[in-house]
């Protein structure tokens, strides 16, 4: 592919993201009641988690090598994973299921845009993510004694990259969970299950709390540990950060290849609502 063609594709995708973001913003600000309800819900959840951590560490100094302060940092990373995944990725996955069921996918497939890219970026809830996520995440930030955490610049860079790779892998995991809708007509419950697995194992227990076999399974086959557990362990220097970086990069790359193949197969099996 020529460099000019590659730049044109990148520019085209940036324009799609810009248009989708603008549309999502107008949709989100139109429902103030939902925004207030979301803020109250996420704030109550975060405060309950902070209380839970405080109670647990009232009886112990460390859990799987994590002090209370480090566990609060882990909770901070878990929050980032949830908000970025839900408002950038998961909402689009659920919309895809609806489009297949209602036949709306027909209109999208004939648009002069890369369909998979459009479908996975059309509903980016940037405003709602900020409204729902900023206040409760701020509460966690103020609960952490940052001066007591030793975070090297190298581990921080590794951790940020691992976090991004983890979000990519998690997005593919959820998309694959949604694709059975092309054959069965419904897959929302499968996506719900994938989300529960991610929330339960990917955001509640640090990497060091799992056995080696589970670390491998939940970091490769079911990649729900990467965004939160891998990245936190790397940032805090509890694991070999370069190893986790290359591991996460490999899983994200393989996930993208698998996603593209699975999407092509699903589209070939799509029965158009107009046919």
Q: Is residue 18 part of a domain?
A: yes
pLDDT of residue 114: 81
Q: Is residue 258 part of a domain?
A: yes
| Residue ranges of the chain with per-residue pLDDT less than 50 | none
Domain assignment of residue 36, given as a range: 3-268
Tokens encoding 95: 């919309």
pLDDT of residue 170: 92
Q: Is residue 275 part of a domain?
A: no
In DSSP terms, 63 is beta-bridged to 66
pLDDT of residue 162: 97
pLDDT digit string, tens, across residues 71-109: 999 999 998 898 888 878 888 888 888 888 887 888 888
Q: d(Cα 44, Cα 224) in Å, to the nearest integer? A: 24
pLDDT digit string, tens, across residues 44-60: 878 888 888 888 888 88
pTM exceeds 0.95 for this model: no
Rg (CA), the chain: 20
Q: Is residue 156 part of a domain?
A: yes
Taking CB atoms within 8 Å and a gap of at least 24, the contacts of 14-20 are: 16/113, 16/114, 16/117, 16/118, 16/121, 17/121, 17/124, 20/118, 20/121, 20/122, 20/123, 20/124
Q: Is residue 123 part of a domain?
A: yes
The alpha carbon dihedral of 264, 224, 79, 243 has a sign of: negative
In DSSP terms, 66 is beta-bridged to 63
pLDDT of residue 12: 64
Q: Is residue 274 part of a domain?
A: no
A 10 A CB-CB count for 260 gives 12
Q: Is residue 143 part of a domain?
A: yes
Q: Is residue 273 part of a domain?
A: no
Number of compact structural domains in the chain: 1
Contact 81, 203 (CB under 8 A): yes
């Amino acid at each position: 592919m020529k460099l000019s063609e590659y730049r044109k594709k990148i520019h085209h995708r940036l324009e799609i993201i810009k248009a989708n973001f603008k549309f999502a913003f107008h949709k989100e600000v139109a429902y103030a009641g939902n925004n207030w309800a979301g803020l109250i819900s996420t704030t109550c959840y975060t405060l309950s988690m902070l209380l839970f951590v405080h109670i647990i560490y009232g009886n112990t100094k460390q859990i799987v090598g994590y002090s209370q302060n480090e566990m609060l940092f882990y909770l901070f990373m878990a929050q980032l994973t949830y908000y970025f995944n839900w408002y950038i990725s998961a909402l689009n996955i659920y919309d895809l299921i609806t489009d297949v069921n209602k036949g709306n996918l027909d209109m999208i497939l004939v648009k002069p845009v890369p369909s998979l890219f459009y479908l996975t970026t059309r509903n980016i809830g940037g405003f709602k993510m900020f409204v729902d996520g900023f206040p409760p995440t701020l509460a966690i930030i103020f609960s952490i004694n940052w001066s007591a955490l030793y975070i090297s610049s190298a581990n921080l860079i590794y951790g940020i990259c691992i976090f991004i790779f983890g979000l990519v892998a998690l997005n593919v995991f959820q998309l694959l969970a949604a694709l059975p809708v092309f054959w069965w007509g419904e897959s929302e419950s499968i996506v719900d299950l994938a989300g529960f697995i991610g929330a339960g194992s990917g955001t509640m227990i640090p990497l060091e709390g799992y056995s080696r076999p589970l670390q491998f399974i939940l970091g490769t086959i079911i990649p729900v540990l990467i965004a939160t557990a891998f990245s936190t362990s790397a940032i805090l220097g509890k694991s070999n950060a370069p190893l986790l970086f290359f591991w996460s990069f490999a899983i994200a790359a393989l996930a993208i290849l698998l996603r593209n193949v699975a999407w092509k197969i699903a589209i070939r099996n799509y029965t158009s609502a107009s046919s």
